[in-house]
Structure 1
Amino acid sequence: MLNALIEQGVSLFLNIRTSVAKDLFGSLGPSVVRVGRHRVVKGPCQLAELEALRFVAQSTSIPVPKIRRTYTYHRKLFIELDYIKGIDLESASIENLLSVDQKKAIVDELAGFVRQLRELQPLHKGNVASADSGSCLDYRIGTRPVGPFLNHEEFHAFLRGNIPLEDCRQVYGEQVLQCHSHHYRTCFTHSDLTQRNIIVDEGRIVAIVDWAFSGWYPEYWEYTKEHYGLLNIPDWYSELRRVMPRYDSELEAERSLWAQFDEPGNQMHV
């Protein structure tokens, strides 16, 4: 009874706060509402995003929005975060707000942040999972959380629809066979390092946002996910290839899977 009353109170508070805030500040996106000069509320979120924000803040110097509090509303998670002053890199590029030197410096800074993520050590070596070894969400895999996977072999089997490795060449081609036969390190990965998730101000990165897809993945995943849903911004990709570890064979393998069996989590739930 007490828990129900508490949830009703939280629900009322959250509804009033976000409704008033939308009138005052507008929406920052489909799941983010600015609720004051210095705060936003994001949700509903998966637990993996909360785990990632805490883990990255505690383990690296990467700038991420600070968590202020969480809410549970109709069994869904909402996170109150600091509002980050700045503009996303995509908008800054479209509006020509950055010089060539500033763009290069931002990419170099981003590369340093990616190196920090790749140096982190997983709780369970080989797992494909969220920061705290739970289920992970990535729209490349599907619209529902999946896993955790005990090892890369289990994860790769899921990506190819559980087609046996010995049949992989015939079904998906040589590149997928080579990729899924290889041993990789496990690295912490943002999984959505697009320009819209990089907030800049005065020519520097002030925050990396939207950690919803992050988790422990094979070391090539950050690079291949950079090219998923490739946008027409060749200078951005050429700069990334300059500073990030390249996995071009794995990218070809992933492109084959994108074409033939994309979002396996959705297809295998049908």
Structure 2
Amino acid sequence: MSHAQILDVPKLGPINDGALYRHLTLFAIAVLRRIRPFEGSVLMLTDRICVKYGQHLDLSEAATMRFISQNTSIPVPKVLCAFTHQRCTYIVMERIKGNYIGAGWVYRSEESKAKILAQLKSMVEEMRKLPPPAGMGVGSVVGGPLYDGRVPGTSLRFGPFSSVQDFHRHLRGGMDFDPKLDPEVQELIRQHDKSFPIAFTHGDLSSLNILARGDTVVGIIDWETAGWYPSYWEYTTACQVNPQNSFWINEIDKFITPMPDELAMERTRQKYFGDF
């Protein structure tokens, strides 16, 4: 694909959601959820097929994986079926055979780590070269609401926003500039009002969302937080590591271009308007 090409906004909707697929999926979950392994919200139906389901999910995650698969070489799960039933979304996918790179990372040789990080760097760069559809602001792959449980707010989903500045205003709880504000907050708002390009973003590039076999990255998973965001968002969200992932902070700058000013800006925002 030429990166000068303007991409169409993917359509939001069910995928292969005929009655047979729906019934088989719901029946399999009812029978297997007590005996097959779960990983988060993902139930392993067979050695080759899994289903991710829950009320917090949205069909845009399935659309995202198809979008990435069709427009990049990044390895993602193949979506077999996706639908919503009684306010719960189900995404049936092929399982990718691989191990979380977080498992045993500290035991890898420096050469092995370098090979994996080089592949991740190439994948992130490829994703960031995707041109946003005409008129796209901050939103999901289909131009709809976004999901990220780490973003403060009362709603499960937020957006879309016609501009980065509107997104930033949301992150500040609607607060606008006022000379009476704390000087640090005034400076944050000045930074927020600058121009930031839009880039397609995974939004949670934790070592727990990257699969490898040997020294080869074979899958990027968990695309529920993905969408079109300001260009710094991939870096700043990756830097918000959880306790299971604490070692990963030392690797992020090796596969995502460091943005120290934007990271400082985000930390100020979290200080005043809600931490991750």
TM-score range, shorter chain: 0.7 to 0.9
TM-aligned CA distance change 1:261 to 1:109, over 3 Å = same
SS at match of 1:55: helix
Structure 1 residue 17 corresponds to structure 2 residue 28: yes
Q: TM-score, normalised by structure 1?
A: 0.85
Counterpart for residue 26 of structure 1:
37
Aligned mate of 2:127, from 105, 117, 123: 117
* Structure 1 equivalent of residue 211 of structure 2: 199
Q: CA deviation at 1:166?
A: 4.3
Q: 2:52 aligns with which of 42, 45, 59?
A: 42
Deviation (angstroms), 1:58: 0.8
Distance 1:7 1:242, change over 3 A: closer
Shift of 1:174: 5.7
Inter-partner Cα distance in structure 2 for 1:14 and 1:68: 11
Return the offset for 1:59: 0.7
Query: What per-residue deviation string (whole Å, max 9, x for no partner) do you get for residues 81-129 of structure 1?
Result: 00111111112326x3x32211111111111111011101111445000
What letter is aligned with 2:239? Answer: H
Q: Does 1:100 align with 2:97?
A: no
Determine whether 1:213 maps to 2:222: no
Distance 2:51 2:180 in 1: 44
Gaps of 5+ in 1: 1-5, 265-270
Distance in 1 (alpha carbons) for counterparts of 2:179 and 2:113: 45
TM-score normalized with structure 2 length: 0.83
Choose the corresponding residue for 2:265, options 220, 237, 253.
253
Q: CA deviation at 1:250?
A: 1.2
User: How many equivalent pairs are there?
Assistant: 256
Q: CA deviation at 1:255?
A: 1.0
Query: Unaligned 5+ residue runs, structure 2?
Result: 1-16
SS of 1:25's equivalent? coil
TM superposition shift of 1:7: 9.9
Q: Does 1:181 align with 2:181?
A: no
Instruction: Determine if contact 1:10/1:71 at 8 Å carries over to the other structure.
Output: no
Give me the identity figure in percent.
29
Which of 138, 143, 150 in structure 2 is aligned with 1:133? 143
Measure the CA separation in 1 of the matches of 2:65 and 2:247.
29
The alignment partner of 2:92 has SS state of: strand
